[in-house]
């Protein structure tokens, strides 16, 4: 497995007015993983479907798309993008049941993120209140429920933003062509994290 990717940050479609600056997963990223971890005809699920990037890429690659999305406007947007309206369900992944969706072969998803000191609830689109501990518990519930709609051995790819705080630097290496993509010392050595600490003031 390649441990670093350099992809174009682009979306094939424009979002409607009022949504233009919302966060979406680039289609290039979804396509890379669906090509690697699923086959034509497979069922692909995104339990945090958003504006449907996973579903539309899956559809284009001849996979059968399924999604769950909390936000009604986003569900409506996805329905306009796909011919199979039943592909997306308006609902809360924390209540996901096996009867909602046929068993799937692959999952690509990008969950809602939370800063550790945020007090809003990402699982209610930052509407209600939450804590970081409750958020982690909700993440666990969501992925436990997801398991009920996945075939054993399905690949689950989770795109997780690295919510960097001050003091963390990610280093990637320019490749001069001699270096294989696993890095000089093997798998995982193609990038580094530098953590910057400061001695406590007296």
Ligand X SMILES: C[S@@+](CC[C@H](N)C(=O)[O-])C[C@H]1O[C@@H](n2cnc3c(N)ncnc32)[C@H](O)[C@@H]1O
List of residues contacting ligand X (CB under 6 A): 23-25, 48, 50-51, 53, 68-71, 74, 92-94, 110, 112, 123, 125
- State the DSSP H helix or E strand holding residue 137, giving kind and residue range, or none if neither: helix 132-147
CB nearer to ligand X: pick between 124 and 182:
124
DSSP letter assigned to residue 66: E
Alpha-carbon separation of residue 176 from 5, 157, 181, 191, 192 (angstroms): 16, 30, 11, 14, 17
Rounded distance between C-alpha atoms, residue 39 and residue 105, angstroms: 9
CB nearer to ligand X: pick between 107 and 190:
107
CA atoms within 13 A on the CB side of 56: 20
Rounded distance between C-alpha atoms, residue 46 and residue 107, angstroms: 6
Q: Is 168 helix (H, G, I), strand (E, B) or coil?
A: strand
Shortest Å, Cβ 68 to ligand X: 5
Shortest Å, Cβ 105 to ligand X: 19
CB nearer to ligand X: pick between 84 and 125:
125
CB nearer to ligand X: pick between 51 and 190:
51
Q: Is 25 helix (H, G, I), strand (E, B) or coil?
A: coil
User: Which residue's CB comes closest to ligand X?
Assistant: 50
Shortest Å, Cβ 185 to ligand X: 33
CA gyration radius, the chain: 19
- Cα of first residue to Cα of last residue in the chain, in angstroms, is 47
Shortest Å, Cβ 23 to ligand X: 5
Shortest Å, Cβ 29 to ligand X: 9
CB nearer to ligand X: pick between 87 and 190:
87
């Amino acid at each position: 497995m390649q441990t670093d990717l350099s992809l174009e940050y682009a979306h094939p479609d424009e979002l409607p007015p009022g949504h233009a600056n919302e966060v979406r997963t680039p289609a290039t990223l979804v396509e890379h993983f669906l090509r690697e971890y699923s086959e034509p005809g497979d069922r692909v699920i995104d339990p945090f479907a958003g504006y449907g990037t996973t579903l539309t890429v899956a559809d284009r690659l001849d996979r059968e798309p399924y999604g769950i999305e909390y936000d009604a406007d986003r569900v409506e947007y996805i329905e306009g993008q796909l011919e199979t309206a039943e592909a997306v369900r308006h609902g809360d992944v924390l209540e996901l049941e096996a009867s909602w969706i046929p068993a799937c072969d692959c999952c690509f998803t990008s969950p809602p993120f939370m800063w550790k000191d945020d007090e809003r609830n990402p699982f209610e689109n930052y509407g209600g209140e939450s804590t970081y501990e409750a958020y982690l518990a909700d993440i666990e519930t969501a992925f436990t429920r997801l398991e009920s709609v996945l075939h054993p051995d399905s690949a689950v790819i989770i795109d997780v933003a690295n919510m960097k705080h001050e003091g963390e630097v990610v280093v990637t290496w320019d490749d001069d062509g001699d270096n294989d993509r696993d890095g000089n010392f093997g798998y995982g050595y193609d990038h580094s994290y530098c953590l910057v600490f400061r001695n406590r003031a007296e």
